């Protein structure tokens, strides 16, 4: 079952990982249904609306969490969508 949720990403400090982060997001494009970014001085935030299995969303956040200059949190609703 697919679930709807949000993944929050904060890019702080070293921005050299942004290109690699974009590659990860492209790899998971099948579960990303919306994206909003807010640039700020020194800190940038990205909010992703996701729709996928809990395992797939966890895989996305796990890959993003490997980058030292990214802070990542996810929240999945209990609302399920049949595939």
9-55 confidence digits (pLDDT tens)? 999 877 788 899 999 999 999 999 999 999 988 889 999 999 999 99
Domains in the chain: how many in total? 1
- In this prediction the pTM is 0.91
Q: What pLDDT shows up at residue 27? A: 98
- For residues 35, 59, 62, 40, the Cα torsion angle rounded to the nearest 10 degrees is 0
Does 82 fall in a domain?
no
Burial of 7 (0-12, 13-18, 19+ CB in 10 A): buried
Q: What is the extent of the structural domain holding 46?
A: 2-77
Confidence class for position 71, pLDDT limits 50, 70, 90: very high
CATH of the domain at 8: 3.30.70.1150
Determine the number of helices (DSSP H) and then strands (DSSP E) in the chain: 2, 4
């Amino acid at each position: 079952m697919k679930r709807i949720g949000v993944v929050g990403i904060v890019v702080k400090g070293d921005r050299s990982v942004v290109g690699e982060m974009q590659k990860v997001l492209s790899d998971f494009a099948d579960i990303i249904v919306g994206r909003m970014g807010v640039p700020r001085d020194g800190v940038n935030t990205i909010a992703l609306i996701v729709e996928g299995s809990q395992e797939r969303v966890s895989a996305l956040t796990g890959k993003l969490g490997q980058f030292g200059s990214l802070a990542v949190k996810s929240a999945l609703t209990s609302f399920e969508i049949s595939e």
